[in-house]
Amino acid sequence: MEFAGNVLQATTIDDLCGSVTPADVSFDKGGVYSTGWRTQTVDVTAFAGTSGLLSFAAHDVGDSIFDSAILIDHVQLVAQ
């Protein structure tokens, strides 16, 4: 997540490697793995009263065989 040029949260595939399991789908280039549903919380209270851009991205780096994909669901912005 990036806010006014500041990356507030980033997760790499290497960060997730300990939690992957084989997925119930297949592709032509080998195994498919999944992390399952994950929850992420980011505190943005320091930016209260301002506006910004909330963005999500997946980038393929490190190999030329496997593609990466993400599914984002149930995003909530909660003011407390």
> Which residue, 3, 78, 4, 2, is CA-closest to 41?
78
Number of helical (H) and strand (E) elements in the chain, helices listed first: 1, 4
What total number of domains does the chain contain? 1
pLDDT surpasses 70 at 3: no
Which residues, 6+ apart, have CB-to-CB distance to 21 below 8 Å?
A: 33, 34, 36
* pLDDT score of 5: 67
For 55, the domain range is: 1-80
Predicted structure pTM score: 0.54
* Per-residue pLDDT reduced to its tens digit, 20-58: 788 887 776 667 778 778 788 888 888 888 887 777 777
Amino acid of residue 16:
L
Check: CB of residue 39 under 8 Å from CB of residue 72: no
